[in-house]
Amino acid sequence: MGDIEVTILSTQAADATSLGAALTAGVGVGLFPSLPDAVKSITTQRAHHPDRTRAEAYASLFSVYGSLYPSLKSAFADLRNCTATS
């Protein structure tokens, strides 16, 4: 986690999605003047920093994936049709 390009911060919240929604609502009702101000209220538990060696490996793999998708697009559609009828 976090090996690609950016540092990822973990929160103490069990459900970060709900936390984000609550902070956005807090901005909407005037509890916070802006979303960046709301984010300042979050307590981070841990920072996951990128591993540059892994990031380079992932970049190579993603390049291969990117070249495969156009070739496989029709096969994916065929698979979807097979599973939709079973």
Q: Does the pLDDT of residue 86 top 80, yes or no?
A: no
> Domain locations in the chain?
1-50, 51-86
pLDDT tens digits, residue range 17-74?
899 999 999 999 999 999 999 999 998 888 888 888 888 888 888 888 889 889 999 9
Q: What are phi and psi of 43, to 5 degrees?
A: -95, 120
Joined tokens for residue 42: 């979050």
- Give the span between the Cα atoms of 42 and 47, in whole angstroms: 13
Q: Check residues 11 and 37 and name the one with the higher pLDDT.
A: 37
Spacing of C-alpha 39 from chain mean position: 17
